[in-house]
Structure 1
Amino acid sequence: MTALSTLVDLISRHAADDGLHSTAIPGVSLARAAAPTVAMPVVYEPTLCLIAQGRKRVIAGGRSFVYDAASYLVASIDIPVMGSVIEASEREPYLCLVLDLDMTALSDLALRHPAPADRSAVPAAGIELNDTSPELFEAAVRLARLLDTPQHIDELAPLAVREILYRLLTGSGHGVLRQLANADSRLRQIAKAIAWLRGHYTEGCRIEDMAEVAGMSRSTFHTHFKAVTSMSPLAFRSQLRLQEAQRLMVAQAVDAAAAGYRVGYESPSQFSRDYRRLFGVPPAEDARRLRQEAPVALS
């Protein structure tokens, strides 16, 4: 069996049902879908998404990323996206290994294995696709195989995760990860501001507040924020608000007006306009549709 077919087998056995499944390995989840899914909002945190079978589309700030087993996705910041499985069937379901990025291990590896300095003042994008190498699949198989021998996870999983991070750092798409590992990089400064924003998005925070957290001037912050997220800071905040409002309406049956108010909107009409612009339909109609369809949560 090739590394890819072995990974398909491992994920199939440990994620027998559709959905996103946590595992006994810290920071590792497995995703499965036996059919294409509707686009659903989710906030990606720093993570690696390695597809073994099927295909997925992720939209962030108007940019579309379509990937499968030939390429992996890395999210380097907390970023709201719309994600949908676009290729999957009962016979060949979508299967994906999701790994949370360990910043301590990543930073240590970056110091041990330095690369030529990147002189670009522009931070890397918050989401990137890169070609998947055979070595990366082999490392992923070594990690996933530990699910068959849970007694070895505590000792061997950190080594397998470290190998995966090493493959990412030394592969062709290492730029974003090296910027993420560098505490002084523009990407890390933007990531710090985004983390603050996720805790304050229901408030009337200003761009100046976010820029101060990032340690940048207002104009510099706005430029670098858009380079990383493909969104302006205020558009990013709006998407966080609207995704949370959708969750409140679907999961807690909160009515549209109350949901808009709870996420920071003072005007119901403005909430409805922004919601329709992002999701394509009015909030109450969208909530009814999603409750009926009962979408499967996937990374």
Structure 2
Amino acid sequence: MRDDLSGLMAFLAVARRRSFTAAASELGVTPSAVSQSLRALEVRVGVRLLQRTTRSVGLTEAGSRFLSRLEPAMHGVQDAFDSLGELRDRPAGLLRLTLPRYGYQEVLGPRLAEFLAAHPDIRVDIHLEDALVDIVQQGFDAGFRVGELVDREMIAIPVSGDIVMHVVGSPAYFANRGKPKHPRDLRDHDCINYRSRTTGGLLRWGLSDGAKRIEAAVEGRVVFDDAELVLDAAVAGLGLAYVPESRVRKLLAEKQLVRVLEPYSTTLPGFFLYYPSRAQVAPKLKALIDFFKLKRRR
């Protein structure tokens, strides 16, 4: 196939220039290389394509017919290469992203309209998944995840501040069970657990006692692998929940939930945009990276 392509390029150049020397100059090879490529092509197709004399080069009837079909096809090939050049030079095409629902709600969703307005040739395919996925194996351009979950082999840039975590419960729950005063009191309460879809383990509740950080393995009668349902269960009075502040701000204001253990609150690393390599970053992905870098500086 590679030899055929060399022969086709040589044939087109000679047909245009009517000269082996001029064709060789155009292709950046020697006249003998052009001649060899053409001989190989004629052997391949089984007919003579060129009439050669010591003073001129012309097309045979078969050569003329072949040229009339070949030129449009080669223009199509050139157009295909040009289209790749356009993708290389400007942000365009489909951007496949993976992130948890909370990441979409907090990081990407509020900024998506602005990003797409700035880059009208980019389309996005968004895969919402709490489990950590292999973005290379599954064909994603990039992902958004909390920092501590990002593989160290990935290039990662911060796109949000740290996540403040709260322990909350409903007024009805506290009316029946009272409020914990210290992290050790959690052992006497029903705590709604969240099971990681990545590891299969239960999320430990990170709290701080002065300079000491506590990683509490809490217990309760209800476990979910969906963060949305953890919050719904807390509102329903099924127990205490460990959730990001931004997720419960409105519910706290409406007094559907009440915050406890405030002196012991701590933070988790914020969200990062991550991708496999710094080499040959596609313009569509670079546009997303630059967009979030600019947002972080503001």
Q: Give the shorter-chain TM-score range.
A: under 0.3
Q: What is the TM-score when the length of structure 1 is the normalising length?
A: 0.20
Higher RCO, 1 vs 2 (CA within 8 Å, ≥6 residues apart) = 2
In our comparison, the structure showing a higher alpha carbon Rg is: 2
Q: What is the TM-score when the length of structure 2 is the normalising length?
A: 0.20
